[in-house]
Structure 1
Amino acid sequence: MPHLTIEYSSNLPGYPEAQALADLNASLCASPEILDEADLKSRFVRTSGSFQIGTQPANRAFVHAQLRLLSGRSPEAKKDLAGRIAEVLRRHTPHPAGVLVQLSVEIVDMDRPSYVKERL
């Protein structure tokens, strides 16, 4: 905990994943909500299959981030974390000419009593 997954459409070539991950982790770990930087696990997932946005056949792309956290944080804390993620992704997401890119960020509460985490 926490887990950050960023999924993006395959029509965004050249996404600077390594730099974006470094910046995302730095921004999130600067938040008082992340108590131990070693707890943050981040990854990018590029769609490998088909995708469609709306009803138009082309010229659309997406980036969706999901941050999963143990339950109990305030709405203000969640809003701050979502804002930190969105700000970094705005800077790093490619904007191919003629392509509408949609960016979304979702904060998801994980059930605290059933979550298991161990350091091996």
Structure 2
Amino acid sequence: MPHLTLEYTANLPIAAKELLLKINAALVASSHFQEVDIKSRALRFEDFAIGTADNGRAFVHAKLAILKGRTTEVKRALSESVLAVIQDAGAWPAGLDVQLCVEILELERETYAKAHFQS
């Protein structure tokens, strides 16, 4: 735990692996997670729609799934930390309306299962 899914539109020049590593570092810095437990992935969308415009818009949406039990303040700090990393990801293309957002999802401790082994 946690699981981070970064979704972004194909019209953004995002170096996904680099951005994921920066977000992971921010999550480690929060002191809420062990480095080895952070699992992140990125999904690039070729087909997307934002409102009713044909083009000129883009988004980055981060979903951070964490175990239930943290305070609203902690969850807010985590979302702001992830958002700050995304905002600093680089220069966004001129003339493009880019929306950045972070969503915190809670997983039930009672039903979350995990195994970890090294071979």
TM-score bracket for this pair, using the shorter chain length: over 0.9
TM-score by length of 1: 0.92
Stretches of 4+ aligned residues off by more than 3 angstroms: none
* Residue identity (%): 44
Unaligned runs of 5+ in 2: none
RMSD across aligned positions (CA): 1.1
Is the 1:67–1:107 Cα contact (8 Å) retained in structure 2? yes
Counterpart Cα distance in 2 of 1:51 and 1:25? 26
TM-score by length of 2: 0.93
* Local SS of the residue matching 1:38: helix
Matched, 1:108 2:79: no
Q: Which digits, 9 at most, give the CA deviation of each residue in 1:51-79, with x for residues without a partner?
A: 11011111000000000001000001001
Unaligned runs of 5+ in 1: none
1:11 aligned residue? 11
1:41 aligned residue? 39
Q: Which digits, 9 at most, give the CA deviation of each residue in 1:20-39, with x for residues without a partner?
A: 122111111011211x2100
The equivalent position to 2:74 in structure 1, one of 73, 77, 97, is: 77
Deviation, 1:10, is 1.1
